Structure 1
């Protein structure tokens, strides 16, 4: 499957968690409307949330496996070195910004707008 190279989006954990939003975003990517990107850190957070919601380990592995199978080029690597030089209101979100910088993403798709203010991202 070929994914759009024209519009790249980093998906934050909080838009991957709700199945309705995740499915919609994945369908848009499947239809080549954008290229999804994420990191191991983002998926680790997703795993943690699923565990807190009592999702079985088998189901967690299936969900993450399906995402990686559907979008094999989505996983961003070697972004960690960028984290230290970044500043955001919530330092725990710097890994998302580092992921976006690494792939020169057009946008970060998140429900957490307060921790990604425009003046920090410009």
Structure 2
């Protein structure tokens, strides 16, 4: 088995960030540096619109914590 010097990068779309258990698993794997997570404001806006039955302040806390934990995850200036 060869070791990787550059970790894999994955765009986490809203469909994997909305389910709490899946989001938690993927972010824990990223904490273990198995890959580098990425998302955009468009993706996070979709999460905000579609998180089922959660107060908006809880949704915002979740997004703030995600951005704080993975400061380089936000993708900007893309088309």
Normalization by structure 1: what TM-score? 0.58
- Aligned mates of 2:6, 2:47 — CA distance in 1: 25
Structure number with greater Rg is 1
Residue matched to 2:39: 38
Residue matched to 1:54: 53
Does the 8 Å contact 1:29/1:36 carry over to 2?
A: yes
1:8 aligns to 2:9 (yes or no): yes
Gapped regions of structure 1 (runs ≥ 5): 83-122
Offset, 1:60: 1.1
Residue matched to 1:73: 72
Does the 8 Å contact 1:15/1:21 carry over to 2?
A: yes
- Aligned mates of 1:5, 1:58 — CA distance in 2: 36
Instruction: Give the 5 Å matches for 1:77-116.
Output: 77-79=76-78, 82=79
Residue matched to 2:22: 21
After superposing on structure 2, the runs of 4+ consecutive aligned residues of structure 1 that deviate more than 6 Å are none
Normalization by structure 2: what TM-score? 0.88
Residue matched to 1:64: 63
